[in-house]
Amino acid sequence: MLIEFSPHSLLKIEILRSHGIDVSKEIVENVVRSPDRIDVGYNDRLIAQKGFDDTHVLRVVYEVLPEKKYVITVYPARRSRYEKN
């Protein structure tokens, strides 16, 4: 299924990269296609999550539309907040 990026998500990727966090569209697409976990968020949007490094996960908020998955935003988060034993 096609994955489309919102202008906001593209801006977030650029901001993260400017802060030294190596995120790309390809990495985000990988998180959406094969997440470690999926949560349901605000307005029933899906939040795909995948391990990013030893202490962080990358979370991708997206909507499933009839013809595509539409990425709303992307953000790194601490594993300790979202991964419980």
pLDDT at 45 (0 to 100)? 97
| Tens-digit pLDDT profile for residues 48-76 | 999 989 999 999 999 999 999 999 999 99
Domains: count for the chain: 1
**pLDDT tier for residue 84 given thresholds of 50, 70 and 90:** confident
Angle, nearest 10°, between helix axes 25-33 and 7-18? 120
> Which residue range is the domain that position 8 belongs to?
2-82
What residue has token string 């966090």? 21
Least confident range from 12-16, 24-28, 77-81: namely 77-81
**pLDDT tier for residue 82 given thresholds of 50, 70 and 90:** confident
**pLDDT tier for residue 85 given thresholds of 50, 70 and 90:** low
The enclosing domain of 35 has a CATH number of: 3.30.2310.20
CA distances for 55 relative to 27, 38, 42, angstroms: 17, 19, 25
Phi, psi values for residue 12, rounded to 5°: -60, -40
Distance CA 27, CA 22 (A): 9
